[in-house]
Structures are given as structure tokens and as C-alpha cells.
Amino acid sequence: MKLPIPILICMLSAPFATAQKTALKVNVSANTSLLPDFRNEVVYVERFVIPDLVRIDNAVSPPAVTQTAATTNARIGFNLEVEAVKPLNGHWKWSLAIGVMQLKYDYDTYMGQSAENRPMYLSELSKKHGDTRFTYVTARPLNVTRSLGRFSVQAGPVFNYLIDKQFSNVIVRYDASTGAASGGTFETKGDARRLVWGGHFNMRFAVVKQLEMMVGAQYFFNSLYKKEGTYEELRDKSKALQLQAGVSYKVSSLFR
């Protein structure tokens, strides 16, 4: 069956007509990630059977296990992404965004008893204790935006895939005279989860035609850490609420 030429032209040109309305934006923002305080499980060992093999199962004597309080602190990370935006009808738009996000926070764990025979925080043994940085490739595949004059609101799902990590779950103590490992303090914390996902919401205000100020948040529905090897309360309370503030700049319309 042959289609009339005008109808065929309209069918072939429709995607290009729609594409002409697609805009490209660059979004840059700072973020701060909020996680609640939690109870941490710490395993303390003295001396190792095989020198410098720092493992719990290499301890000379049975390890001591304790659950104790840990206090979290928010730190500043960043978001950088490219967003393609297409109008639907009226005041509604949908968009696809992809980029990079760094999540940062730290925490400190209180020890009522320690190798120093006094109450102390683990940060006194190592400045790196609790220093946590995760870098993700982020994808927001289905953002829905409602425009209200110069204001707009946007919401949708967000997926974050881990590409880099910096955190520690062990502090090693060394003998001052020999330099050999003399003991260790281990947190019951497993590896970082590769994929964390959640939902996001942001509000924007058009300062000028090309530039918007934006504030928003995203909440992770699953833990930053894997279930395997992670103390249950630490895992359950490692679902971050991330606050964001930045700008969105419209680079151009695509397929002009």
C-alpha cells in the first residue's frame, strides 16, 4: 500500500520537528549529604600470628567485639551533568540527564575502652577514620518538569553507579620499636554498593533566558554499603539524603 506523498513527508519530518525543540543544558551544583548517627560495631585485636598480616582471623587471642556510638558529619561534594530537555505540551517538559556526582561525609566512633586504656574517639588513632568519598556516574532518565512562569519544579528517579571510592574500615597499630603491626581495630563494614538509586526533586528560577538558579534534593532508597560484611544498623542508616544548590545553563537548542 502506497502512502500519499504529503502524509509520508509529515511522518518522516515529525521526529525532526520535535527534535528542533530539544534544548541542551549544563547543570553544576554543590551538594551536602546527610546521614543519621548510628551504632558501629568494632572488632579489636592484639598481636598477629603472622607478623604484618592484618586480619581478624590472624589474631593471637580471640578478638573483642563491641557496639558503640558513631556521629556523622556532612561534607561538601559536587554534581556535574548534561541534560537534554524536550517540551511536551503547555507547561510540561521531560528530560534526560547524565553526569558525575561526588558524595562526601565523615563520622567518628567513640570507644569506651581502647588500646590506650582510656575512653577515646577512633579519629585520635587515625585521621582517615570515617573519611568517606564516593564518586558516581549518575543518570536521571525520566525527569518531569512543570513550568510556573519563571519558576519550575522537577522530579524523577535517579540512578548512581559507583566508579571510585575512598573509605577505610581498619586502623592498624604499630610497635614503636620494631615497626611491626601490633594490633588492629576493625569496623564491621563491607564494601561499597555499586548501584544506589532513589528519587530527586528540584526547583528552578530563571534569572535570565539562558540561566537558572536551582535547589533540590535526592534521597537514596538503598544503602551505600553492601549487605555482606556490614553491621545491620550501619547498613540501614547509610541511606543518604543529599541537598543540592547550583545553576543550570542552557547551551543551545539541538538540531537547529
pLDDT at 48: 86
Choose among 145, 153, 37, 160: nearest CA to 100: 160
The full set of domains in the chain, from first to last, is 23-249 (2.40.160)
| Structure confidence by residue, pLDDT tens digits, 152-209 | 999 999 999 999 999 888 888 888 788 788 888 889 888 999 999 999 999 999 999 8
Assess contact for 121 and 113: CB atoms under 8 A: no
pLDDT at 29: 97
| Structure confidence by residue, pLDDT tens digits, 69-122 | 999 999 999 999 999 999 988 789 999 999 999 999 999 998 876 556 678 888
pLDDT-derived band at 17 (thresholds 50, 70, 90) equals very low
| Structure confidence by residue, pLDDT tens digits, 208-237 | 989 999 999 999 999 999 999 899 999 999
pTM of the entire predicted model: 0.83
Q: Which residues of 241-251 are buried (b: 16+ CB within 10 A; e: fewer)?
A: ebebebebebe
